[in-house]
Amino acid sequence: MLPSVHDTGAGEVVLLLHAFTLDASQWDHQVAALSGDMRCVRVDVWGCGASPPPPADEPSLDGFAASVLAALDSRHIDRVALVGLSMGGYLAFALWRLAPERIRALVLCNTRAAADAEGPRDDRLAMAETVERDQSVESIVEPMVARLLSRRAQAEAHVVDPVRGRIRRCTPAGIAYAQRAMAARPDSTGLLASINVPTLVIAGTQDAIIPAPEGRAMAGRIPGARYAELDCGHLSNLEIPRAFNRQLADFLAPAKMAS
């Protein structure tokens, strides 16, 4: 089974992996900015956006990452510049573990390499049970909005309303799968020193889920990584797309992609 793929533009491929409770449309601003020069490939995680429901296997980010590789194979795509935000970053680490030769550059946004501590892991499992029991994601919409967006962005209808819409489009099965898969993910801290492709780490000064100092420390452990701190919450790419796109386009410019 393959996840749904949105494939826009032509040129070098940039693969964009979305955050938890969102879908590929999280990257609309980036696709609008980049797809004149690059081929922007986005996937929806199982049960979110246009992807099929999750498989019956044990929830696993490595499992989903393998299906992303299969989707790339089906389109004859070999190497990509990989951009992952939060859960998309956890998936980027899974892809680095599985197939580093497929990654020519890495952008890690509002994400962390560490696995969950026990408390947050229990919270994930509790959310998975709640949405399955309710057969609805409604109870998580406002709590997720409050975590995902800065206060400033929460007051901006053009930012917050589409985020609510995306959360509501996720199915309970998709939310439960993603939470269990994130809860089970291994610690990727040991991988950081092995990253030998150009890397940009982006953090948000008002990120309530992954504080900026964690992003800075992670960048410090990746050889040669560039670090950018933006004035925004967790969903940096859709809170302040112009500033985000400037960082991304500058980093992805072919001259900077020597490897």
User: In the complex, which residues of this chain contact ligand MLT (CB under 6 A)?
Assistant: 19-20, 86-87, 182, 209, 234
Report the residue number, 116 or 229, with the smaller CB distance to ligand MLT: 116
Report the residue number, 19 or 33, with the smaller CB distance to ligand MLT: 19
- Asked if 15 contacts 6 with a C-beta cutoff of 8 angstroms, the reply is no
Assign residue 253 a region (left: φ > 0; alpha: ψ between -120 and 50; beta: otherwise).
Answer: beta
Give min distance, CB of 234 to ligand MLT, in A.
Answer: 6
Report the residue number, 70 or 114, with the smaller CB distance to ligand MLT: 114
Phi, psi of 230 (to 5 degrees): -110, 155
Sign of CA dihedral 148, 89, 47, 132: negative
Give min distance, CB of 158 to ligand MLT, in A.
Answer: 20
Give min distance, CB of 45 to ligand MLT, in A.
Answer: 10
The structure tokens listed for 77 are 């795509």
Give min distance, CB of 170 to ligand MLT, in A.
Answer: 12
Report the residue number, 38 or 167, with the smaller CB distance to ligand MLT: 167
Give min distance, CB of 86 to ligand MLT, in A.
Answer: 3
10 Å Cβ neighbour count for 190?
A: 10
Report the residue number, 39 or 124, with the smaller CB distance to ligand MLT: 124
Q: Give the C-alpha separation, 66 to 72, whole Å.
A: 10
